[in-house]
Structure 1
Amino acid sequence: MSKTTRFLPPLIALFAGIIARADDRPNILFVFTDDHAPHAIGAYDGWLKPLNPTPEIDKLAAAGMVFENSFCTNSICGPSRAVIQTGKHSHKNGFMNNGNSFDWNQQTFPKLLQAAGYQTAIYGKSHLKGHPQGYDDWAVLPGQGLYYNPDFITPEGKITIEGHCTDVVTDMAVDYLQNKRDSEKPFMLMVQHKAPHRNWMPAARHLNLYDDIDVPEPDTLFDKWEDNAPAARHQELEIDRHMHINFDLFLDLTPDFESDAKTDRSAWWNMKRMTDQQLDAWFAAYRPKDEAFHAANLNHEETVRWKFQRYAKNYLRCVKGVDESVGRLMETLEELDLDDNTIVIYSSDQGFYIGDHGWFDKRWMYEESLKMPFIIKWPGTIKPGSKSDKMIQNLDYAQTFLEIAGAPIPDDMQGESLVPLLKGNSPSDWRDRIYYHYYEYPSVHMVPRQYGIRTERYKLIHFYQFDEWEFYDLKNDPDELTNLYENPEYADLIAKTKQELRDLQAYYEEDSDISEKPKKWQQEVRAGTLR
């Protein structure tokens, strides 16, 4: 233990006594969603931008800064949130996959903000199990939570609130801003939406949104991963083969639907809790579309395209609710005269596949799931409409919030404060590579464990349980369609990048088991006989 860490508690207590009287430190409003890919945000200029999917988030971007190279450390819900709470990689904070339980007794940035005189609150999805610590007020979804009429765990016990989850969480946040906070203290408010996570159940008012258009298809919708290592050919997240036409796309789905399919049935379970009025609106929207599908008698390729359209529209309908939430929150800040002294951040736990490479979900170190949005408005500090191409990670959020609050930053945190970048500076020693490690395998979607390094141009991934490597030139191959690992022309560069990868693992004190599995295990798990 370092001297800085050892003496941190008394230092915080002393420091908190001094700064608690300050009333000009900025508030922090952190809006955090689930599975919102940057290319489904207009400000990121992706292939979905022509649909204008996020006008309110785009306004936030126009008033602040967009980080174009924002990455996660582990592309899955719970671990990403654990990294944000602690400012430490998964192997350090102990929450490596969604089957783990987060140790709330450990150091987290909300606890440190509290000690520094901030009031803290969180509403929505936590996905870390257990009761949140470090928050003065909280109401969180149990597990993934429901879209309609969701349950919440609160300090007083479980409650159920009628309505769509995005709206309910927004209502909680607005109520906090209007009625619950102490106006004499700065606040840090986390608004954590479950949308647009699977199974993509939109609010009733959005059920017919995009009915009159076709969503543009990604260029790689029919990618067969022929020039990649085998890892991409042994997954279970294809729109074609793995997206369930009833439970994921709601075709003919009713509360009394019968099926023995082994898949995510969240939408079906949620339908059983919907009110009669909600069900009437649901069926009024989907039954005509279902009838049109049956009448069309589509062939296989046409069915894949139909599934993509149904999925993408439901995904974007859920995004619409989140975007409206951002607009409502911004309006509330203005009404309460808080907008000039409140930093507003919009982010999501990772990226997502919206038909890219024929997939849905996340987990891979490929760009679509590795990149996460980070948009921030800081009145008087960030130049409106600015962009940064610096490489940042969710590893950096905790330190950033602490520096903003003027609170001590423990030396065992592993990220870097973004404050210099937010102030328009360009530190010469800013990182030019990031480290990634995904652990959840064998498990749902069967994406193998992997670690890797991404530099400004290249990416090296090791699927270590199979000892398979992939190497990509992101400048010449931005869709990562051609694995160059066996190309002799890149041998020297790959060797250099491998050493850089080992250096990163040493720097972050990576101590996970990254050994290769026996060949028999490899064969059985890919044959589906071992799960």
Structure 2
Amino acid sequence: MGFSCKQEEQTQLQKGPNIIYIMADDLTIQAISAYGGIYKDIAPTPNIDRIAEGGMLFHRMLCTNAICGPSRAAILTGDYSNVNGYYKNESGGKFDSSKWTFPQAFQKASYESALFGKWHLGSRPMGFDTFKYHNSVVQQGAYWDPVYNENGRDVKQRGYATNLTTGFALEWLDKQKNSARPFLMLLQYKAPHRPWRPDQKYEHLWDSIEMPYPKTFNDLYKGREETAGDTEMTMDYLTRGDLKFKTPDTLKGEEKIAWEFYGAGKEEIVQPEKMTYQEGRRWRYQKFIKDYLACVRSIDDNIGKLLDYLESTKRSENTIIILTSDQGFYLGEHGFFDKRFIYEESLTMPFLVKYPGHIKPGSQNGNIISNIDIAPTLMELANIKEDHKMQGRSFAQLLKGENPKSWKNEHYYHYYEFPFWHHVQPHFGIRTQRYTLAHFYYNMDKWELYDLQNDPEQIKNLVGNPAYKDVLVDLKKQLSLLQQKYDPNNDLDDYRRITEKNFGVISDKKENVYSRNYME
């Protein structure tokens, strides 16, 4: 008996893999035990590690612009900020929803598509049959009792956001388990983004211990005083809200916001009375890191629920599972929290992929890959062919364990936002297997060069070191070629105008800006 057209279409669709793309906000490799590090035994992530054990762990997945919205836009479009038009969060406007994104291509190819959790691009998500995304505080979302936009309608949910978002995803998976169509699901957690509010059961998880400190916690920024040494993302800039000081019940509205925001300004040091400065600095780190890792613990729990569900319903064999973040994050390295710099901790994204029968379990990859390469890779894995051109390139061959000679050996980076938030100078640069070169250009002309083989912590700026004169010349040439390839139409004055331009949606009141970005 022959197949009908409809049966043939369904048979073809069944051959395509399901894809679950999990992205946590500000999750970093230092917080994932599969990557090792100083927290692996104290705060392990056994369920995230299951993805690495069953698939491939990437060591050099690098973001193009280490800040939430622009990195998400780069992942969705396969293009740099200068092409997709979304450069920055602060005064960056909204992501242009008319732009091509890979979920739209999957939807067009008859995949069932869904988004749950954090969108954080300002505009309406496109390419999804169903969505339920955080829609309070301009899509930043809240940890507790959050408001979601469910297919165009705001609904308030009771509970903890990480648990709720996973629940929505599992409910949707259960409803479509008998569908003949493959699915694409984006499961995107708010956690562990600032203000790092753990689930109640984990609020005091590590009260009895002192967390270890990164090697560079006491970095003095020698040779980098005007760049790394002149930011507002050190332990000195954690606020009362970050550090969970109890807000007086008498404060309301903007007074309440201002009280909780105290600590973000210069010389507004928040710490218990009678502590010395150094004691307070360590105290602030301990509070921050324990809350951050407690938020990660809930993510790991929920990924465990998802993996267990897929295994129990026998759907894991034809499902690609990806775990990543929008960029890396500092957990006290260089005395920092947050991201933004080209330095390793914020440049490097966690990236783990499991695809049974296609990716060797327990494998690892050290190639340089860019977040713009994710979209074309997903398209190839799903065998979706379109004429749309992207700056990114598929790394599907790398997933198979192959290593083509033509694969790139360098990565181009560009960060634009200044002075809000955190006062990080705009800069662009190149990362090769061994070196990082950065040019800070907005109101200065500073170059930084790091030899990652001899200085993996990036403490010694080698610009001016005669032993690296030829290396510097060569890297500048390579950087120029990358700019010609990815961003050929701009010069330094154009870049400065982008930093200064208000693309829309900005508050003139500092406390309201803070509320939009950080507070629940």
Classify the TM-score, shorter chain.
Answer: 0.7 to 0.9
CA distance in 2, matches of 1:63, 1:385: 6
CA distance in 2, matches of 1:409, 1:44: 35
Cα deviation for residue 256 of structure 1 reads: 4.5
What is residue 50 of structure 1 aligned with on the other side? 41
1:111-138, CA deviations, whole angstroms, 9 ceiling, x for partnerless residues?
1111222111001111111211100110
CA distance in 2, matches of 1:504, 1:262: 43
1:254-300, CA deviations, whole angstroms, 9 ceiling, x for partnerless residues?
55457969879599xxxxxxxxxxxxxxxxxxxxxx9xx858x3221
Aligned letter for 2:237? H
Which runs of structure 2 are paired with 1:145-160 in the superposition (5 Å)?
145-160=141-156
Cα deviation for residue 184 of structure 1 reads: 0.7
Cα deviation for residue 154 of structure 1 reads: 2.1
Which runs of structure 2 are paired with 1:51-450 in the superposition (5 Å)?
51-98=42-89, 99-142=92-135, 143-180=139-176, 183-228=179-224, 230-239=226-235, 241-244=236-239, 246-253=240-247, 256=250, 265=260, 294=272, 297-410=274-387, 412-450=389-427
Aligned letter for 2:472? I
Structure 1 pair 137/232, CA: closer, same or farther in 2 (3 Å)? same
Which runs of structure 2 are paired with 1:475-486 in the superposition (5 Å)?
475-486=453-464
Unaligned ranges ≥5, structure 2: 1-7, 263-269, 501-512, 514-520
Q: Which moved more, 1:360-369 or 1:213-222?
A: 213-222
CA distance in 1, matches of 2:492, 2:45: 40
Aligned letter for 2:489? D
CA distance in 1, matches of 2:261, 2:311: 37
Aligned letter for 2:285? F
Cα deviation for residue 517 of structure 1 reads: 9.6
Aligned letter for 1:47? I
Q: Which moved more, 1:18-27 or 1:172-181?
A: 18-27
CA contact (8 A) 1:27 1:341 kept: yes
Cα deviation for residue 19 of structure 1 reads: 7.7
CA distance in 1, matches of 2:65, 2:394: 19
Structure 1 pair 471/255, CA: closer, same or farther in 2 (3 Å)? farther
SS of the residue corresponding to residue 500 of structure 1 reads helix
Q: Which moved more, 1:454-463 or 1:251-260?
A: 251-260
Aligned letter for 1:155? N
Q: Which moved more, 1:246-255 or 1:397-406?
A: 246-255
What is residue 499 of structure 1 aligned with on the other side? 477
Cα deviation for residue 105 of structure 1 reads: 1.0
Cα deviation for residue 251 of structure 1 reads: 2.4
Structure 1 pair 516/120, CA: closer, same or farther in 2 (3 Å)? closer
| TM-score normalised by length of structure 2 | 0.87
CA RMSD, aligned part only? 2.6
CA distance in 2, matches of 1:19, 1:430: 36
1:324-346, CA deviations, whole angstroms, 9 ceiling, x for partnerless residues?
11101111111221111101000
Structure 1 pair 517/317, CA: closer, same or farther in 2 (3 Å)? closer
CA distance in 1, matches of 2:488, 2:232: 28
Aligned letter for 2:457? D
Task: Establish whether residue 32 from structure 1 lines up as the match of residue 36 from structure 2.
Answer: no
CA distance in 2, matches of 1:517, 1:100: 17
Aligned letter for 2:242? D
CA distance in 2, matches of 1:516, 1:402: 33
Cα deviation for residue 50 of structure 1 reads: 2.2
What is residue 449 of structure 2 aligned with on the other side? 471
Aligned letter for 1:201? R
CA distance in 1, matches of 2:9, 2:286: 56
| 1:462 alignment partner, one of 439, 454, 466 | 439
Structure 1 pair 124/263, CA: closer, same or farther in 2 (3 Å)? farther
CA contact (8 A) 1:53 1:319 kept: no
Cα deviation for residue 509 of structure 1 reads: 3.3
CA contact (8 A) 1:34 1:194 kept: yes
What is residue 267 of structure 2 aligned with on the other side? none
Cα deviation for residue 512 of structure 1 reads: 3.9
CA distance in 2, matches of 1:108, 1:356: 34
SS of the residue corresponding to residue 437 of structure 1 reads strand
CA distance in 2, matches of 1:264, 1:79: 30
CA distance in 1, matches of 2:53, 2:132: 31
Cα deviation for residue 414 of structure 1 reads: 1.1
CA distance in 2, matches of 1:126, 1:456: 32
CA contact (8 A) 1:167 1:325 kept: yes
CA distance in 1, matches of 2:246, 2:317: 49
Unaligned ranges ≥5, structure 1: 1-16, 268-289, 523-530
SS of the residue corresponding to residue 471 of structure 1 reads strand
Structure 1 pair 512/128, CA: closer, same or farther in 2 (3 Å)? farther
In the alignment of these two chains, the number of paired residues is 480
Aligned letter for 1:42? S
Cα deviation for residue 234 of structure 1 reads: 1.7
CA contact (8 A) 2:114 2:185 kept: yes
1:462-484, CA deviations, whole angstroms, 9 ceiling, x for partnerless residues?
11222211111111111111111
Cα deviation for residue 22 of structure 1 reads: 2.9
CA distance in 2, matches of 1:414, 1:127: 23
